[in-house]
Amino acid sequence: MGGTPLLALNVAALPGDLPLEITQAIIRGGAEKTREAGVVIAGGHTVSDKEPKYGLVVIGLLEIDKMFIKGGAQVGDHLFLSKPLGFGVTTTAFKRGLTTEEELAEVTDWMKKLNRDAAQLALEFGLKAGTDITGFSLLGHASEMAQASKVGFDFYFEQIPLVSCAHKYAEAFTFPGGAFNNKHWFGKEVWCDPSLSENLSMLLFDPQTSGGLLLSVPDEKALAFQEEAKNRGIPCWEIGRVSDQSGIRVHP
């Protein structure tokens, strides 16, 4: 949302019989990522649970007049995405023993990438509308953003970035349960071109863990925004436009 994180608290629910080296790796991973983000871990809380869970509660500062909101998209804006899709379908394939080391490494590298640089660029350009793409999928979070802004979104499938193995596992239909929940809940707001197969369209309902940012960039700023992202090496793909027609439309 354009804020600056300051402090974080570890929140962990771990089995008592989890090997110590795994617990250490989980906590160390959180420490390394918070250090990269310039955040201090100030404490935390742990409980015992049969299924391991770990997360961070983050406290930061935000200037209200510079805050990104879901309801700020305007007709004619360009829609940019800062990370590719395909994390959910690939990690589910991993759970089924289907992925290669290279495929898993590509996905985890993207998931470990902070959204800080893309958010900072958005702040510098004075953007008002944005959201992160996580468990509700691209189409789910986009639907929330379009409804809050009282506009519609047009996406172009060929312009949407995907991890290299996304097509492979879409064809294998290794989607997590959340993808079907997303389609059931948000699908009524979405029109997909009939030329897109169900396998491909499901990639846009795929839940993303640590996905990228969806940013709405005014027409007069779009070219400069894209060029500056390229100059700084910040991943950024233009995937659609904001329309005055309500709902979400996915074109080939």
Could you read off the pLDDT of 201-223 as tens digits, one per residue? Answer: 999 999 999 999 999 999 999 99
Amino acid (one-letter) located at 183: K
3-state secondary structure of 250: strand
The helix/strand count (H/E) of the chain reads as: 9, 10
Task: Name all domains of the chain by residue range, CATH numbers in brackets.
Answer: 4-61 (3.30.1330.10), 68-251 (3.90.650.10)
Q: What is the mean pLDDT of residues 19-29?
A: 95
- Tell me the pLDDT tens digit for each residue of 77-130: 999 999 999 999 999 999 999 999 999 999 999 999 999 999 999 999 999 999
**CA pair distance 212, 84, nearest whole angstrom:** 7
Per-residue pLDDT, 96: 97
Confidence class for position 189, pLDDT limits 50, 70, 90? very high
DSSP 234: -
Facing residues of 129 across strands? 69, 216
Q: Mark residue 32 as left, alpha or beta (left: phi above 0; alpha: psi -120 to 50; beta: remaining).
A: alpha
**pLDDT digit string (tens) for 170-183?**
999 999 999 999 99
* Neighbour order of strands in the sheet with 247-251: 129-132, 213-217, 78-81, 237-243, 152-156, 247-251, 190-192
**252 contact partners, CB below 8 Å, separation of at least 6:** 156, 157, 158, 193, 195, 196
| Model confidence at 1: pLDDT above 90 | no
Kindly state the helix (H) or strand (E) to which residue 251 belongs, with its residue range.
strand 247-251
The residues, ordered by sequence, that sit 6+ positions from 17 with a Cβ below 8 Å of its Cβ are none
> Which residues, 6 or more positions from 105, have their beta carbon under 8 angstroms from its beta carbon?
none
